[in-house]
């Protein structure tokens, strides 16, 4: 089942599934929108709300796995995961929210008891970065610090934008000494994404959670290549972040998001790519660097999400909470067209 099939990423994933000859059930709250998407693709659909547990359970009993795409996952992950645990259905989502990853990790024992795999973050966040993190750990097994940079994320969907709006008030989350903490000011540095050093700003990307579960590296920071919008957000002080986090301001910002294009066009996605850089350092100061190039983020999300669901349905699913690299290895990302990795100081 693809739940959340009426959103930007949901529609993209449903279309990719049909092109692959897959037959998922498309699900969500709005029957009319689901029908309009499913019928041209020749797919079955089911209208069901997350706040109706009995109906949700009945829908999930028909499938082996759910690809949960309906955000913001801070609100939607728990009811869907609850239902998956009740019905013994493998759970996958495309969250990028650190709190959601940690909440899923806390339910590892429940997932093992139910015999299901719980694997959040099966899209661009965090499949490529998690696989890169695992590769850096493989290159430097005693690594104590991991820093990753990401470039090429200029066009985002409504769902991604709204999640970013919700994160404004939290500060920049990093991992230090194995613990997640929020910094008053985002860290800054330069990173070489392949065309020389570029200014980069720390962000609370999902790997602050998942890279630790995958590698055990205690100090983790993630950066984005700096943009004008990021610079403006980074300049907010504590008062500014608090104001932006108030309920009225959150509603206003999300209304502004709804006025933007739904997401990048097919042509924009085809013309774009993402670059990820990993840098690991051990206690003796030894350093390794690697770079990963992938297709545009939303296009990759559809591919990785569907590939992981297929693996789970075919029996390749480890019970309990998993990360992409824990489930399928550091080289899993290399299975996809348009992905390449190079070790910069091999």
Nearest to 94 by CA among 295, 300, 268: 300
Residue-wise pLDDT tens digits, 66-79: 999 998 899 999 99
Selected from 3.30.360.10, 3.40.50.620, 3.30.70.260, 3.20.190.10, the CATH number assigned to the domain covering 127-296 reads 3.30.360.10
Q: Give the Cβ contact number of residue 153 at 10 Å.
A: 18
Return the structure tokens found at 172: 């920049």
What is the chain's mean pLDDT, rounded?
91
Rounded to 10°, the helix 207-215/127-139 angle is 40
Domains in the chain: boundaries: 2-123+300-328, 127-296
Q: How far is the C-alpha of 211 from the C-alpha of 321, rounded, in Å?
A: 13
Under 8 Å between Cβ of 280 and 288:
yes
Return the structure tokens found at 266: 């097919």
CA angle at 209 for the pair 102 and 199, rounded to the nearest 5°:
145
Residue-wise pLDDT tens digits, 250-280: 787 777 766 766 777 888 888 889 999 999 9
* Widest Cα–Cα separation across the chain: 60
User: E strand or H helix at 180, and its extent?
Assistant: strand 179-183
pLDDT over 70 (residue 140)? yes
Residue-wise pLDDT tens digits, 200-233: 999 989 999 999 999 999 999 999 998 777 666 6
Confidence class of residue 163 from pLDDT cuts 50, 70 and 90?
low
Residue 243 CA, distance from chain mean position: 27
Under 8 Å between Cβ of 168 and 244:
yes
Under 8 Å between Cβ of 201 and 231:
yes
Q: How far is the C-alpha of 199 from the C-alpha of 128, rounded, in Å?
A: 21
What CATH class does 2-123+300-328 carry?
alpha beta
Residue-wise pLDDT tens digits, 78-87: 999 999 999 9
Per-residue pLDDT at 168:
65
- Which residues make beta-bridge pairs with 274? 294
**Strand, helix or coil at 327?**
helix
State how far the alpha carbon of 330 is from the alpha carbons of 215, 259, 323, 324, 325, in Å. 11, 39, 10, 8, 5
How much is the pTM?
A: 0.90
Confidence class of residue 314 from pLDDT cuts 50, 70 and 90?
very high
């Amino acid at each position: 089942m693809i739940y959340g099939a009426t959103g930007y990423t949901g529609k993209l994933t449903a279309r990719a599934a049909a092109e692959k000859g897959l037959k998922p059930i498309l699900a969500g709250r709005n029957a009319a929108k689901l029908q309009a998407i499913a019928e041209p693709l020749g797919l079955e659909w089911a209208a069901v709300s997350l706040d109706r547990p009995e109906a949700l359970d009945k829908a999930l009993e028909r499938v082996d796995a759910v690809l949960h795409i309906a955000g913001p996952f801070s609100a939607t992950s728990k009811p869907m995961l609850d239902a998956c645990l009740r019905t013994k259905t493998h759970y996958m989502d495309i969250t990028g929210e650190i709190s959601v990853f940690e909440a899923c990790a806390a339910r590892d024992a429940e997932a093992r008891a139910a015999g299901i795999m719980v694997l959040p973050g099966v899209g661009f966040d965090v499949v490529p970065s998690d696989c890169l993190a695992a590769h850096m750990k493989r290159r430097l097994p005693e690594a104590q610090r991991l820093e990753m940079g990401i470039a090429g994320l200029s066009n985002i969907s409504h769902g991604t934008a709204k999640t970013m709006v919700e994160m404004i008030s939290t500060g920049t989350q990093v991992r230090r000494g194995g613990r997640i903490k929020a910094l008053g000011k985002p860290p800054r540095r330069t990173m070489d994404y392949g065309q020389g050093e570029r200014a980069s700003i720390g962000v609370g990307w999902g790997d602050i959670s998942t890279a630790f579960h995958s590698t055990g590296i205690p100090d983790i920071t993630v950066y984005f290549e700096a943009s004008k919008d990021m610079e403006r957000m980074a300049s907010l002080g504590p008062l500014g972040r608090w104001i932006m986090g108030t309920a009225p301001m959150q509603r206003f910002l999300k209304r502004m998001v709804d006025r933007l294009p739904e997401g990048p066009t097919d042509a924009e996605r085809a013309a774009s790519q993402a670059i990820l850089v990993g840098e690991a350092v051990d206690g003796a100061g030894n350093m390794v660097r690697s770079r990963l190039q992938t297709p545009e983020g939303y296009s990759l999300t559809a591919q990785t999400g569907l590939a992981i669901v297929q693996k789970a349905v075919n029996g390749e699913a480890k019970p309990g909470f998993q990360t992409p690299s824990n489930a399928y290895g550091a080289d899993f990302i290399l299975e996809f067209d348009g992905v390449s990795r190079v070790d910069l100081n091999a």
